[in-house]
């Protein structure tokens, strides 16, 4: 698969492949995707040597995380790197749903929350949707118009999770 970079997670160094698989499409980005097609996509990536998978609560309002976790749980946890994002919480409601997502779960919408506590909640909720015991890399998701809150709330929360050895790396996904 080519060169890899190393990420330290507690006592374990993880290799991050230079090529990964973004999982927004299995959350229904622009078009509906069946559970079978989503599963096959992740399995095919693994089969071809991809070991870095990126998802987010926003992607299909949690659908991408649930689908990714369903596949990845069946594989040795040491065999892949998983990244997801924080900065949006999925909450009951319908107002604000983006039309780019097909077949959204009924009654949930993403709500921006870059606060320290919101980031910790987002992390825990992602773990639940994924059904995994850890997330390797956490990114602050789309803080473009929320820079001050992201720097004062989200960044310290991620830094604490990393310093405590709970996650291996942090970053930002921006437009």
Which residues are catalytic, by number? 59
What is the separation of C-alpha 31 from the centre of its chain, rounded to a whole number of angstroms?
20
**Shortest CA distance to 147 belongs to which of 110, 174, 167, 120?**
174
Question: Do 26 and 33 touch, CB atoms closer than 8 A?
Answer: yes
The residues with which 22 forms a beta bridge, in sequence order, are: 54
Strands 88-92 and 108-112, by their bridges, are antiparallel
**Helix (H), strand (E) at residue 111:** strand 108-112
């Amino acid at each position: 698969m080519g060169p890899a970079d190393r990420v330290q997670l507690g006592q374990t160094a993880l290799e991050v492949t230079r090529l990964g698989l973004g999982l927004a499409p299995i959350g229904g980005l622009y078009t509906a995707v069946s559970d079978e097609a989503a599963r096959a996509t992740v399995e095919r990536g693994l089969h071809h040597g991809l070991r870095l998978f990126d998802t987010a609560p926003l992607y299909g309002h949690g659908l991408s995380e649930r689908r990714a976790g369903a596949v990845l749980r069946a594989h040795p946890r040491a065999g892949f790197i998983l990244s997801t994002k924080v900065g949006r919480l999925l909450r009951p409601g319908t107002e604000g749903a983006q039309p780019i997502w097909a077949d959204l779960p009924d009654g949930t919408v993403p709500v921006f929350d870059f606060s320290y506590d919101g980031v910790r909640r987002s992390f825990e909720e992602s773990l639940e949707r994924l059904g995994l015991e850890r997330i390797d890399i956490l990114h602050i998701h789309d803080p473009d118009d929320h820079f001050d809150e992201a720097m004062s709330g989200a960044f310290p929360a991620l830094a604490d999770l990393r310093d405590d050895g709970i996650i291996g790396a942090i970053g930002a996904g921006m437009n």
